[in-house]
Amino acid sequence: MPNYQGVWSLSTQMQNTSGWPVAPTIALFGGGNGNSNVIQQLLMGSSGNATDFGDLTSGGETPAACGSTTRGVWFGGERGSASNIIDYVTFSSAGNASDFGDLTAATRLNAGHSSSTRGISGGGIVSSRVNTIDYITIDSTGNAQDF
């Protein structure tokens, strides 16, 4: 942390490392072309191939995604038609996704973003472009709310 003169104290920095962001150890990829329901994991410290993590609740093409340090979340996507489904997994326990709740409107080709506490799904297409932005609290479950 800088002191008032703008000088960094390394001993103070080392005492506060518990507040530093933790680098992820896995990356998850879910859904894909052809309405796949597969979730694959890639170990970040390895140069190996992806392995099976579990399945989404239903097959989906191009769902948006976001996450925190504990959970991964997928929004909407093409699941036969535009979908309002929200799925989530807990990183520490590989397995199938669970139902998180629903978006305020069905959408596909939307975008997902997150902070450490909130996830958002924005834009996308149904029959025309959508200008909706929904948000969730990642560590809980329930329906999204209009941002």
Sketch the domain layout of the chain as residue ranges: 61-146
Query: Could you report the per-residue pLDDT of 34-75, keeping only the tens digit for each?
Result: 778 999 999 888 888 999 999 999 888 889 999 998 999 999
Q: What kind and span of H or E run contains 15? A: helix 10-15
Highest mean pLDDT: which of 6-15, 42-51, 136-145? 136-145
Q: Note the pTM of the prediction, 2 decimals.
A: 0.81
Distance (Å) of CA 83 to CA 67, 87, 122, 126: 19, 11, 13, 9
Strand order in the sheet with 133-137: 111-114, 118-122, 133-137, 145-146
Compute the half-sphere exposure of residue 112: CA atoms within 13 Å on the CB side of its CA. Answer: 23
